[in-house]
Amino acid sequence: MSSDDRWVVAANRTGGVISVYELHNPTNRFALFSHPNISFAALSPDGRWAASGTWRGSGVRIWDFESRQVVRELPTPTSARVSFSPDNQWLVAAGQSYDLWEIGSWKHKYTLSRQRSEVILGATAFSPDGQILALVRSPGIVDLLVPATGQLLARLEAPRTSNLYFLRFSPDSSQLFALEWDQQVQVWDLRRVRADLRQLGLDWNARPLPQETADTGVESGRLQLSLILHPAE
């Protein structure tokens, strides 16, 4: 979805296109042609660019959203998810490896390898201010990086080794959520992590997280979520 909540984009694998809808006027829709095996789509926060990635394909394609034309093709060795940073600086492709490009110039910044890339696509998330990139380098381990340089800030090790499929930050960046392959959800309290590191003089170089308020506190401990599927009537 665009940052102004006007547009939503989705990968249309059957048609090999990005389907675009105006959220409050769904009859206003169009498609961005074309990308065989397309499975992932993203829209830049400023609404200027759209990107697509594939499943069992290769390469990332970039569209100028206004002209609806492909303006760049970025190489990837295999399938890849795509996402833009909230500060409109970076595009990351998560596949066999992680590749970061500078938005606009499309200059390739770096590639990061990952373990067991044949098992599952890479998982990434930018913090809401775009200053931290979280990514899964190996099962059960999440790295927190500086997007511009790839500098490692911290490495989070889960209580058990598991394939992590999706990552998301909370709106205030104080928590990181990791969806496991078996539908468990890990919740990392980054405010407490940084407080403990700060006592040891090891906190990473980033702006302080906002103070916890009474209605946003999360009780520490193991949280288990269950997904209940109801058969269609």
> What average pLDDT score do residues 106-116 get?
90
Structure pTM? 0.85
Q: Which domains does the chain have, with CATH numbers?
A: 1-113 (2.130.10.10), 115-206 (2.40.10.480)
Q: What is the pLDDT of residues 11-41, one digit of tens each?
A: 999 999 999 999 999 899 999 999 999 999 9
Please tell me the number of Cα atoms within 13 Å of 88 on its side-chain side: 10
Question: Greater confidence, 180 or 218?
Answer: 180
C-alpha atoms less than 13 angstroms from C-alpha of 196 in its C-beta half-sphere:
6
Q: Examine the pLDDT at 220 and tell me if it is beyond 60.
A: no
User: 37-41, 101-105, 162-166: which has the minimum mean pLDDT?
Assistant: 162-166
